[in-house]
Amino acid sequence: MKKDIHPAYQELKVIMTDGTEFVTRSTKGGADAVMRLDIDPKSHPAWTGVHRLNESGGQLAKFNKRFAGFGRKA
């Protein structure tokens, strides 16, 4: 390998959504870098099988809400 062309490879503390922590190595961040996860295997529906519905609805509901006032007037 060529010298002085590769990024620094240091420890990175990862904090998962439930508060558990582990240390790994990465080129991201600097000394004492911390990565807080918003989504991880313990909370993502793809791994848990639990789907949470958004209160605001889907794209169709957003479209209908946005354009509710448009249309023909009787």
Q: Which residues of 23-59 are buried (b: 16+ CB within 10 A; e: fewer)?
A: eeeeeeeeeeeeeeeeeeeeeeeeeeeeeeeeeeeee
CB atoms within 10 A of CB 15: 14
pLDDT of residue 13: 92
Sequence ranges of the domains in the chain: 1-50
Q: What is the pTM of this model?
A: 0.52
CATH 4.10.80 correct for 1-50: yes
* pLDDT per position as a tens digit, 16-47: 888 899 999 988 877 788 988 888 777 776 66
